[in-house]
Structures are given as structure tokens and as C-alpha cells.
Amino acid sequence: MLTRYARLIKYFHIATMLGVAMISFIVDFGSVGKVKETGNRVTIFVNGSAVGVVSESADVERMIIEARKRIARQTDELVLINCDIRTNLKTDVFNPIDDDETVINNICKVFSDNVFKTKEPVYEVKINEFTVNLRTAEEVHQLLIRSKHPYDDADEFHVDLVLDPTRELNVLTASVVRTEEFYAQDEGFSLPQAGVFAKVDKIFGEALKQDVSQFHFGIKELDFGENVEIVQAYADPDEIRTLEEAIDLVTKEQEKSKIYEVVAGDSLSVIADKNNTTIENLIALNPETIPSTKALIRPGDEIKVNSPEPELSVVRIEEKYYEETYNKPVEYIDNDNWFTNESKVLREPVDGFRKVVADVTYRNDSEESREIIYEDVVIDAVAKLVERGTKVPPTYIKPISGGRMSSGFGKRKAPKKGASTFHKGIDWATPVGTAVYASCGGTVVTAGWGRGYGNVVMIQHPDGKQTRYGHLSKILVKNGQTVSQGQKIALSGNTGVSTGPHLHFEILVGGGQVNPLKYLQ
């Protein structure tokens, strides 16, 4: 028995067939209609074979159309024929004229001998750029039902097919409605709330303070994630699928490329899990934005992902009850006297406990979003409280232009007697007299002789760090002087314990030397 949607497709099919009957094969009319009316005999040729003689050129087109109609009535299929129709004007008035039936039958015979392809009527199901052809309306219906069944095994939702009002041509589209609503519209029938729903209401009625009658635990909404279009068409027999083949093509997961927008809380591993892929695949697809596993990503960034998805996805919203421990977002107190890399925890967080009703949106088996619509807080959570700085910390630049790094930071073999075996800074070999610049703005605390450093300058910076510049040939600043980043403070040299002209540079944190390369921009 055909359902409402199937009857609609059937009527659409009949109307289409009536129209196709008039255009069921392709011909090349050659010179038909080009013969001038002279009263002479007109011989008709189809694919080079003479099929009859008529007295007027107007008869040619009429007989061709009649032959086409007869061929079309013989089958419901779309018949394609290779035909070249031409005419020849003769002055031989004694050449007999054939009767209409003879000429039409001859044309039909040539047409039948030149059939090159027969197309069968099908229902073409289009999902975005993907199409699959099925023979019957019932197969279309079963395809859509089987596609949603893994996520609606209780058949709470009914798949209906309706005319798309936005299209000029007769195109059907899939509409998913609640089963009780569908039957209520058609037959005034409604399904009572019973079984699992009554049991769920009883359980959660005891769990929540609020009246549960406003909740519909289980699937609230369900629809296909892509637009589904069904049209009547014709296809070669080898392009038509069985129902099982179509189901496999539509529901089988395949790798698809899409753009993912990073949200708060995302990391590379989280994004990979959300899209059923790996971090290595994310890096391979985004070599510029994600060069390594340590790449920094921010909310709003867009990255390419490949994830396995079916051609037709099912999107549903489930109303769920659950109990959970939860945290409140971190609370911050801004301190304008601190730098942004300074912070202090004023209060540790305490987990809370709550009973929740939430609308959870899924695409197939993957959760896309979660919206809490009701919560019963049993134990209130306490947020973590953090004091943080707001000032942008100073930056550090290389103190000379050019130069060759001749000694790095850390352990080394002493280059000469009196030199340290642990190098506390970086050396750049450079000619005597090379300009030395302040790596960062601050106050000069040392400007003079510094034993093994020779002529040396030390600067105190606003973030508590210090920089030291040694083996200088000339000092251009004084103690207590304020300098800015990039200001010329000295000339490089070869004073103190030194093996050749160079600049020795240190960065001190808390009074101890650290590797300058970790701080230089």
C-alpha cells in the first residue's frame, strides 16, 4: 500500500511520463522543412533509406511526429535513436505517392532498427553533490528510514516526502516529523505516552525539584543534516542501485574535508577527537598554521580537518538528565601594577554537584553542542580566584647589529687562563668600536670597570631582570641614567679577560644568569 508520499511521487511520475512520451528520442531532421512548395514529389530518407514519397513537404514533419508517438507508446522507458532525416525534391510527376500509413510504418521500422540506448525511469535521490538512483518510491522511503534508524530505533519520527515550494520544477524533499504528529494529521490518530516515556518521567520526577512535565526526555528533534531532493528521471540500467547498495553508499562513512573553527578549551588532541582523526593528520593538512604539535591555536582560528562522515547525516537533539560534579569559571582580579606574565592564586577552586537537564545536539554519533535548560544545584561550586597583571612586559632585542656568535651559554672549555669554564652569557665576535645598544629600556646601575668583564654596563629593567654588557672599549652612559630600548650605550672592545674583540652579553633573573637566547626577540 502506497503511503501519502508514495502516491504523490506516483502522480508526479504519470505527469512526467505524459510529457516524455512526446520527446522520447533524439533525431536530426537534416533538411526537413527546407523544401519549397512546388507541387513536385518529395522523397523522405531516414538514415539514408528511402521510406516513402509524399506530395507536400509539410507532410514530412507530421509523419515523423506520428512515428515518434508510436515508438514512445511501446514502452515506459526513454528510448534514444540515432536518426538522420532528409528529403529530396524530384520533378518526376509519374513517381507514385505513398499512403500515410505506409510511410509512417516505414519510418517506425527504421527508428526501431536504430535504437542505441534505452533508459529506465528512476527516482533520483540527490544529497548535496551525491546522487543515487532507485527503481521504486518504496525503495526511496526505505533508504531514508534505514538512514535514520540507528539514531531512532523506536521509530519516534516519520519520514515524509513533500513538494519543495521553493522550486519551479516538481521536486520532492524529505521532511522528518514526529510519528504521532504525522498520523494525527492524516487520520486523527495519536499515540499515548506509555512504555519507556512513562518510566522515564517517573524516575526523573523523583530526581528533580521542578515539574518534569515540561521536559521530553529522549529525542526532541530529528532531521537529516543535508538537503534531500527526489526527482523523477531516466538512467542507464547500470546506473541504478539496489536498495542495499544505496543504503551502503549513503550511510557508509567516508573521509570528507571541512573547515573547523577553534573554540575555547580546544587543543589539537581535543580537535582530533571531535573529528575522529589524528593530530598528525591535522598537521599534514595545515602545515602553515599548525607546523608542529606545539603550535599555538586560538579561538576563532579556522583549520582544515578530514573526518569520516556519511553522505547523509542525521542531526538530533536529545533532552538528557544527568548528575555531575562541576566547576565555575575562573574569576580574575586585575592588577595594573603587574605585568601580564605575573599572577597569584588567591583562592583555590572547590567542585560543586548538580542535577542537570540539557539539550544535547548530535550529528550522527558526535556531540556538537550542549545547552543546559535546567539545573538543581546540590553543592554550589567555588570559583578559583586569581590576581593577574595587565601591563605588557618589556621585550629584549639583540644588543648589536651583525656579529658572529663565538660562544654560547653554558659549560665550555676555558678559552684562556682566568676564564670561566661555565659561560654565563653569549659572545658575539665583532670589530672593536661596534655600536652596542640597550637590549631593553631601564636604568643604568653599573657603568665602569668590572674586573674580568673589563669595561662593563649593567641595566636594571622594569620587569626585575638585568642585562650586562662586557669587554667594552668605550662607555657612553652613566650610573642612574634612564635609557630606552635600542639606545646606543657603548662601543664593543677587547678589555678585561678576553681572547679577542667581542661583546659579552648576559640576562639575569633574580640575580642569576640565564640563557639570553630564551628571551631575545
Q: pLDDT grade, residue 197 (50/70/90)?
A: very low
Q: What is the pLDDT of residues 441-468, one digit of tens each?
A: 999 999 999 888 999 999 999 999 999 9
In the prediction, which pLDDT does 18 show? 43
Do 126 and 106 fall into the same domain?
A: no
Q: Among 61, 91, 113, which residue terminates a domain? A: 113
Region 491-496 average pLDDT:
95
Q: What mean pLDDT comes out for the span 471-489?
A: 96
The Cα 6–Cα 457 span in angstroms is 90
CA distances for 294 relative to 74, 279, 340, 515, 520, angstroms: 70, 11, 21, 21, 20
What lies within 8 Å, CB to CB, of 207 at 6+ separation is 321, 323, 355
- Asked if 205 and 213 count as a contact pair (C-beta separation under 8 A), the reply is no
Residues 157 and 211 in one domain: yes
Please check whether residues 172 and 275 belong to one and the same domain: no
Q: Domain total for the chain? A: 5
Q: What CATH number corresponds to the domain at position 298? A: 3.10.350.10
Within-domain flag for 339: yes
What is the pLDDT averaged over residues 183-189?
59
Q: Is 197 helix (H, G, I), strand (E, B) or coil?
A: helix
What is the C-alpha separation between 107 and 71, in angstroms, rounded? Answer: 10
**Polymer length of the chain:** 521
Q: Which residues contact 251 (CB under 8 A, 6 or more apart)?
A: 146, 147, 310, 311, 312
Q: What is the pLDDT of residue 416?
A: 61
Q: Quick one: pLDDT at residue 438? A: 97
Q: Quick check: is 444 in a domain?
A: yes
Q: Are 225 and 312 in contact (CB under 8 A)?
A: yes
The residue-averaged pLDDT of 212-231 equals: 86
Report residue 515's pLDDT band, with 50, 70 and 90 as the boundaries: very high
240 and 274 in a common domain:
no
The Cα 443–Cα 420 span in angstroms is: 28
Give dist(CA 31, CA 28) in Å, integer: 9
* Residue 177 CA to its chain's centroid (Å): 27
- Are 209 and 284 within one domain? no
Domain span at residue 47 reads 4-113
- Mean residue pLDDT of the chain comes to 83
Q: pLDDT digits over 116-175, tens only?
A: 666 788 899 999 889 999 999 899 999 999 999 999 989 999 998 888 877 766 788 998
Could you tell me if 241 and 126 lie in one domain?
yes
Decide if 169 is inside a domain: yes
pLDDT of residue 158: 92
pLDDT of residue 186: 56
Banded pLDDT at 330 (limits 50, 70, 90): very high
For 26-42, the DSSP string reads: --B-TTTT-S---S-EE
Position 143 scores a pLDDT of 95
> Quick check: is 182 in a domain?
yes
* Predicted pLDDT at 462: 92
* List of residues 6+ apart from 65 with CB closer than 8 A: none
Alpha helices in 114-238 (DSSP H): 137-148, 179-187, 196-207
Highest mean pLDDT among 68-72, 92-96, 163-167, 508-512: 508-512
Residues 282 and 330 in one domain: no
Q: How confident is the model at residue 67 (pLDDT cuts 50, 70, 90)?
A: confident
Closest by CA position to 457, among listed 466, 448, 129, 465 = 448
Residues 242 and 137 in one domain: yes
pLDDT of res. 322: 92
The pairing of strands 466-475 and 502-509 is antiparallel
Any domain includes 398: no
Q: What is the pLDDT of residue 208?
A: 54
Q: Which pTM was predicted?
A: 0.55
Residues 159 and 207 grouped into a single domain? yes
Judge whether 154 and 316 are in contact, CB under 8 Å: no
Residue 327 has pLDDT above 80, yes or no: yes
Residues 6+ apart with CB under 8 A from 415: 407, 499
Share of the chain above pLDDT 90, in %: 45
Residue 352 is assigned to a structural domain of this protein: yes
Four-point Cα dihedral 37, 40, 41, 46, nearest 10: -40
128-133: long-range contacts, CB 8 A cutoff, minimum separation 24: 128/226, 128/227, 128/311, 130/249, 130/250, 130/311, 132/241, 132/246, 132/249, 132/250, 133/233, 133/235, 133/239, 133/240, 133/241
Q: How confident is the model over 369-417, as pLDDT tens digits?
A: 999 999 999 999 999 999 999 998 999 999 999 999 988 888 777 666 5
- Whether the pLDDT of residue 1 is over 50: the answer is no
Taking 70 as the threshold, does the pLDDT of residue 193 lie above it?
Answer: no
Q: What's the gap between Cα 126 and its chain centre?
A: 20
Clarify whether residues 358 and 374 are in a common domain: yes
Q: Return the pLDDT at 308.
A: 80
Task: Give SS3 for 350.
Answer: strand
pLDDT at 256: 76
| For the ranges 57-71, 221-235, 417-431, the one whose mean pLDDT is highest | 221-235
Residue 512 has pLDDT above 50, yes or no: yes
Q: What share of the chain is helix, strand, coil (3-state, %, to 5)?
A: 25, 40, 35
Q: Which of 83, 113, 143 is the last residue of a domain?
A: 113
Which of 84, 113, 142 is at the close of a domain? Answer: 113
Least confident of 86-90, 229-233, 375-379: 86-90
> Mean pLDDT throughout 229-238?
88
396 lies in some domain: no
Residue 397 maps to a domain: no
Instruction: Examine the domain organization and report whether 100 and 194 are in the same domain.
Output: no
**497 and 442 fall within a common domain:** yes
Average pLDDT over residues 34-40: 47
